[in-house]
Structure 1
Amino acid sequence: MKHLLNLGIILAILWLVMSGHFTPLLMSLGLLSVVICLFIAHRMDVVDGHSHPVHMSFKLIRFWLWLGWQIILANIDVAARILGFKPIKPQLIAVPLSDEGELHHTIYANSITLTPGSASVHMLDDHLIVHTISAEGADELLQGDMAKRIPTDRQGANNA
């Protein structure tokens, strides 16, 4: 029940922020929408103890901001390579994966693919095959800074 309540609060806040309208009619329709979503989620049994670790919310926001900045920098880098200011040296590398779990691996692979100039190609148990357009990009991934920045439930449990 606690997780269902957390989901309801998050949905209500998200609706308020995205709506921007605070008339009685729209507020009641928003509340009705949240209640219907909660009912459906409960009936489908998709809300469990691991639905959303609230203690990780601020760490996730910080990671998303950092990732957004990395995407901007990567766009600039790719544009410079397309325009011929920097060389293009495509590489296929094996990036080691930590033992943080499947969710961490998925977030890592998606974050790499979201960043222009790199794409996750294949995921194995202990490493990720990644295509990059530059040796510098490959070196950055092999250093593992992005993987270390992804918040994990273990970090949250250690800090709590």
Structure 2
Amino acid sequence: MKRVLTRHVLQRGEARLSSVLLLLLVLAISWLLWSGLYKPLVIGLGAFSCLLSVYLAHRMGFFRHHDALLRLLPRLPGYWLWLLKEIIISSIDVAKLILKPSLPISPTVVVLQSEAKTDVGQVILGNSITLSPGTVTLDVHEGKILIHCLTVESARELQKGEANRRAAALERK
């Protein structure tokens, strides 16, 4: 019985009170900044959503990766700026495709081998790909990422590996 409980606790991830409070603080500040509505009912719903998010994060094992997240935090702003630029470029490319009467799309599915070694790095790469218009991450399994691309050109661009290298660089020490 003890062995099962230990494995269950390790699977979820140990949560230090400071880690839980830090996540709750970040979520609450983000919610307050993005909401812009400060009525009692809305603030109550926001507080509930932040608490629910922290609870779900604990259940999903978020705190198991807490140290990895803290390590990559200083490199995130540079990554976000690069990602924003890529999202804008992809948005323009997809808009051009849609506006052409012939609609020259060539849907394709590709598999990328992630250079990121941790689950956190692979999730960041998969989510970054999905944020870019015209690409959707379908699956992440054992370091392989299955991606649907709107065009063969966007698939080739992904296979060049710039996004892969940048996501992997986030987790380096």
Q: Same fold (TM over 0.5)?
A: yes
- Per the normalisation by structure 1, the TM-score is 0.65
Alignment of 1:1-160 (within 5 A): 3=19, 6-7=22-23, 10=26, 14=30, 48=63, 50-51=65-66, 53-84=69-100, 87-98=104-115, 100-150=117-167, 154-155=171-172, 158=173
Q: CA 1:153–1:146 in structure 2 vs 1: closer, same or farther (change >3 Å)?
A: closer
- How far off is 1:153 after superposition? 6.6
Q: Percent identity?
A: 30
Distance 1:101 1:47 in 2: 13
- Per the normalisation by structure 2, the TM-score is 0.61
Higher helix share: 2
Q: CA 1:113–1:8 in structure 2 vs 1: closer, same or farther (change >3 Å)?
A: closer
Which residue of the partner structure matches residue 23 of structure 1?
none
Query: Where does structure 1 differ by over 4 angstroms across 4 or more consecutive aligned residues?
Result: 4-20, 44-49, 151-154
SS class of match (1:87) = coil
Distance 1:132 1:120 in 2: 9
- How far off is 1:90 after superposition? 1.5
Aligned length: 146
Segments of structure 2 that go 5 or more residues without pairing to the other structure are 1-16, 37-46
- How far off is 1:11 after superposition? 6.1
Segments of structure 1 that go 5 or more residues without pairing to the other structure are 21-32
Distance 2:89 2:73 in 1: 24
- Tell me if the contact between 1:3 and 1:49 (Cα under 8 Å) persists in the aligned partners: no
- Tell me if the contact between 1:90 and 1:132 (Cα under 8 Å) persists in the aligned partners: yes
Distance 1:70 1:84 in 2: 21
- Tell me if the contact between 1:63 and 1:151 (Cα under 8 Å) persists in the aligned partners: no
Distance 1:120 1:14 in 2: 26
- Tell me if the contact between 1:112 and 1:120 (Cα under 8 Å) persists in the aligned partners: yes
